[in-house]
Chains A and B, each alone.
Chain A
Amino acid sequence: MFSQASHNSRLTPVEPAAGSTELLARISELIEDLSPDRVDLLKAFHRIQHEFGYVPREAVPLLAGKFRTTPAIIFGTIDFYSELRMAPAAETTVDWCSGPACLLKGSLNIRRALEATFECEMNRTSADGRFGLRLVQCDGTCHLAPLVRHHGRYIGPLTVSESIEWARRLTGDDRRAPPEDGARPAADEASPELAEPVEAE
């Protein structure tokens, strides 16, 4: 289906689809110096996503023309890679690390808590479009496990309570934070220490 032959066959470039002229012009400008068979398609995606925050639908026919292939193959390629998206991300997107180190330290609990607090499922956007949760792969910052990322900031190691409080601050939920230690009965000494999470800009 995706054989070398069909990929390399020199097809007539497809007519660009409708879209604002500026958008199309900007995309053409971005991919101007790229050419087929020089490992440039990924570069094209990255440039476009860097510029717009996602790969607009209008880019697909333009890329197909540039790389001498069909829009279906371009679309399939975008669809294949998890870091490429075809719709803008929510205003506030929280990246939840799915890696094993985070998992072993209880990241699934954090996932459930975040999904409930943002009222939003993983890889979806909340009903009001303000919040998004995105599942990301491990990038080896496991000394912070379990962690979430928010606008390039890594937050961890998190307890479930900390993640809920943090998410509530983002949503503007002014519910009182749990009472401070003072009145804790002696029987509760076994409670885990609430370590301060490391927050890096």
Chain B
Amino acid sequence: MTLPRYEEMWHRADDAWARAARPARTLIKVGVATCSRVVGAEETLSALRREVEARGLDADFMVTGCLGLCYAEPLVEVVRPNAPGVLYQSVTADKVASLLEAVAAGGIAREYALAVIGDRESGGLPALNSLEFVLGQVRRLMANCGVTDPENIDHYVARGGYEGLVRALQMKPVNVIDEVKKSGLWGRGGAAFSTGLKWEFLYNAKRQPKYLICNADEGDPGSFVNRNLMESDPQLLVEGMVIAGYATDAQQGYIYIRDEYPLPVERMELAVQQARERGLVGENILGSNFSFELEVVRGAGSYVCGDETGLLSSLEDRRGMPKIKPPFPAQAGVFAMPSNINNVESYTNVPLIMRHGADWWAEMGSEKHKGTKMFSLSGQVQRVGIVEVPLGTSTSDVVMRMGGGPPEGRKLKAVQPGGPLSGVVPASDVDIPLEPDPYRERGVLMGSGGLVILDDTNCIVDLCIYFEWFAEDESCGRCTTCFAGTRRMLEILRRISSGRGRLADLELIKLLGSIAQNANCFHGQGAPTAVMSMFRFFEDELLEHVERKRCPAKVCRGLVRYEVVHYSDRLPAAEAICPTNAVVRDNGTYRIDQLKCIKCDACREQAPYAIAVVDEFQPAATTLTR
């Protein structure tokens, strides 16, 4: 079967892409995604337009997505004809004039230049692919991120987009499923279940209509890989879902995006509309007799809607409370009809498998887990951003080399691999490969790939309080073990952090942790994971809180106190900044009024020599001025 409509579309797209890939005159590419918008990429773009016009420069503009280098945003790339593009970092609107000055003179604005695109250094600038952050990455899912215009379907098609769909449409649905099974793709959302097998369940379901749902409710705080894919290359997800629809005989797809992601909602809606105009979504796709409808649904702020059955309830116009399984979604999902739910990353891998074949796809990755995976880096790390690496890459390579590790002079303490329900691994285990099994051995879940890094200024009890608070706050309220268990756990942890912890609490926490396993959905079952990791890896620190009433990192509010320990000229500034007037002047000396002090640290920021954080329950004489 030939698909003449695709041939025609490809030729048209190729012309459009050639103008961006091999520009005849200077092309200025500005990355506009959530991470760059918040640091002013849109202002940079309009300043560039103004400035180019004012100077009468000969240049075109293009909006791209995000390269993953969030720490260097806003990124601007200047491509001249027949030369590699030069990437400039942190180009805020005020830097545009001096940047364009250098560019207009035919040179490179050195003070902002980050790298040249490609593998080879040029003009004294390093190559992008040789930067610590990029070296070792395998960009398959992210091949278009930051390169093409996410709002232009032609760019996607010209770079091999929808080839996978064309190939799939020429196969039988069963063979498509076999190909996905052969590749060894497992769900990227955290549960790590075989995607092909899941599709087979839906394919074998007898009733119609069948629904296909994309879980883009990336609720894990500190995780933003799906956001980047949806706003930088939305067509990849559309193609993945259409292929999945063909393979499983479904006719309707929903992409459920969380409310906190306005730009991905906007770009996905546009992408679906463009695909529909080209006949890639809708009736008789590419002239075949397969029809598939796709709709973007915007959530309204709920973490448990990221659980697959919670998402189903939310789609059914109700509270997004997870349902009891069985029946599994493949038998009775949304509207009690057969459904399949996959993560954004699971669907977006499928076009690559269909385009290049399962064998090519499985070349990357470890023995057991094939393919690449995107990870976001945040917390105490020098380079915050998104990387894509083959599964099985060592965690330290990603955290310490690509991310640059904790800030100067601090030590890595722990890594939280994916979401508040995933637990933490200590710094001593940071060499383990990034794949589910080594993490599971340590009682930790690899989750969806949001790496949050802790250093020695962070307190593990404080972090566990956050996780338990989050679990309690987002609990749907169905299971007592979850909504009451997390609340009880939170109370106990807060008691420990306020200095009233007792040894019996430790047993009580363990008991609560095992009771939580009886909750219906993973939200309740996973809630104590972080606390259990604390017992496993940071028991000394916990005991220090309970037995000696001391917080080694000096974070827990109930265990520390602020004191004036020296005299310094900065003390008046500390007095001025205090929001509760707790820095008091008495006869020319200063002291902290402990009843007023809210322990916000502002005074110590102003006068770090004079004011110190001391242990609440330690003799203060060791630190006070004599």
Contact = CB atoms under 8 A, between A and B. Distances in A.
A105 interface: yes
Contact of A80 (B297, B319, B453): B319
B119 interface: no
A39 interface: yes
A173 to B, nearest CB: 10
Interface in A81-114: 81-84, 98-101, 103-106, 108-110, 112-113
A200 B38 contact: yes
B118 interface: no
Given A81-B302, A143-B35, A161-B605, A100 B452 contact: yes
A106 B601 contact: yes
A194 B38 CA distance: 20
Interface stretch (A11-19, A21-29, A125-133, A175-183): A175-183
A161 B452 contact: no
B187 interface: no
A42 interface: yes
Given A7-B317, A143-B35, A144-B39, A185 B569 contact: yes
B221 interface: yes
A31 to B, nearest CB: 12
A169 interface: no
Contacts of B147: none
B598 A116 contact: yes
Interface string B440-475: 000000000000111100100011001000100000
Given A77-B318, A106-B601, A140-B376, A188 B260 contact: no
A169 B602 CA distance: 16
Interface in B566-587: 566, 568-570, 572-574, 576-577, 579-580
A99 B222 contact: yes
A164 B600 CA distance: 10
B227 to A, nearest CB: 5
Contacts of B336: 4
A62 interface: no
Contacts of B466: 98, 100, 103
Given A184-B570, A188-B608, A144 B302 contact: no
B88 to A, nearest CB: 16
B424 to A, nearest CB: 11
Contacts of A42: 297-300, 314, 317
Contacts of A82: 300-302
Most buried by A among B259, B420, B458: B259
A55 B335 CA distance: 26
Nearest to B477: A80
Interface string B104-128: 0000000000000000000000000
B300 A67 contact: no
Contacts of A161: 577, 602, 605-606
A75 to B, nearest CB: 10
Given A101-B379, A178-B577, A191-B609, A142 B222 contact: yes
B70 interface: yes
A137 B219 contact: yes
A192 B605 CA distance: 7
Interface string A131-164: 0000011111111110000000010000111001
Contact of B384 (A80, A143, A178, A183): A143
B598 A40 contact: no
Contacts of B254: 39
Most buried by A among B71, B221, B420, B599: B221
B297 to A, nearest CB: 5
A101 B222 contact: yes
A109 B572 contact: no
A200 B318 contact: no
B379 A192 contact: no
B385 interface: yes
B315 interface: yes
Given A39-B297, A144-B38, A161-B605, A2 B321 contact: yes
B522 interface: no
Contacts of B297: 39, 42-43
Nearest to A138: B221
Interface in B351-407: 376, 378-380, 384-385
B224 interface: yes
A81 B315 contact: no
A112 B336 CA distance: 47
Interface string A185-197: 1011011101000
Nearest to A185: B569
B32 interface: no
A1 B380 CA distance: 44
Contacts of B39: 143-144, 154, 198, 200
A108 B379 CA distance: 14
B601 A143 contact: no
Interface string B596-615: 00111110011111100000
Most buried by A among B38, B385, B610: B38
A165 B449 CA distance: 36
Contact of B580 (A98, A116, A185): A116
Contacts of B227: 139-140
A2 B378 contact: no
B463 A103 contact: yes
Nearest to A6: B318
A137 B300 CA distance: 12
A185 B37 CA distance: 40
Given A141-B38, A187-B568, A113 B600 contact: yes
A188 B565 CA distance: 13
A144 to B, nearest CB: 6
B505 interface: no
Nearest to B383: A143
Interface in A58-87: 67, 69, 73, 76-77, 80-84
A7 B316 contact: yes
A171 B69 CA distance: 36
Contacts of A139: 34, 224, 227, 260-261
A142 B384 contact: yes
A145 B602 contact: no
Most buried by B among A41, A117, A137: A137
Interface of B: 34-35, 37-40, 43, 70-71, 73, 92, 218-219, 221-224, 227, 254, 259-261, 295, 297-303, 313-321, 335-336, 376, 378-380, 384-385, 416, 420, 452-455, 458, 462-463, 466, 470, 476, 557, 566, 568-570, 572-574, 576-577, 579-580, 598-602, 605-610
Given A178-B606, A188-B609, 19 more contacts: A39-B315, A39-B316, A82-B300, A84-B301, A103-B462, A105-B379, A138-B221, A140-B34, A140-B222, A141-B38, A141-B70, A143-B39, A164-B600, A178-B577, A179-B573, A185-B609, A188-B570, A198-B39, A201-B40
29 contacts: A2-B313, A2-B319, A36-B317, A37-B317, A37-B335, A39-B297, A81-B301, A82-B300, A99-B222, A100-B420, A104-B380, A109-B600, A112-B600, A113-B602, A139-B227, A140-B34, A140-B222, A141-B35, A142-B224, A142-B376, A161-B605, A164-B577, A177-B576, A178-B576, A185-B609, A188-B570, A198-B39, A198-B40, A200-B38
A-B pairs with lowest CB-CB distance, top 10: A140-B224, A83-B301, A142-B378, A178-B573, A81-B300, A138-B221, A41-B317, A200-B40, A116-B579, A154-B38
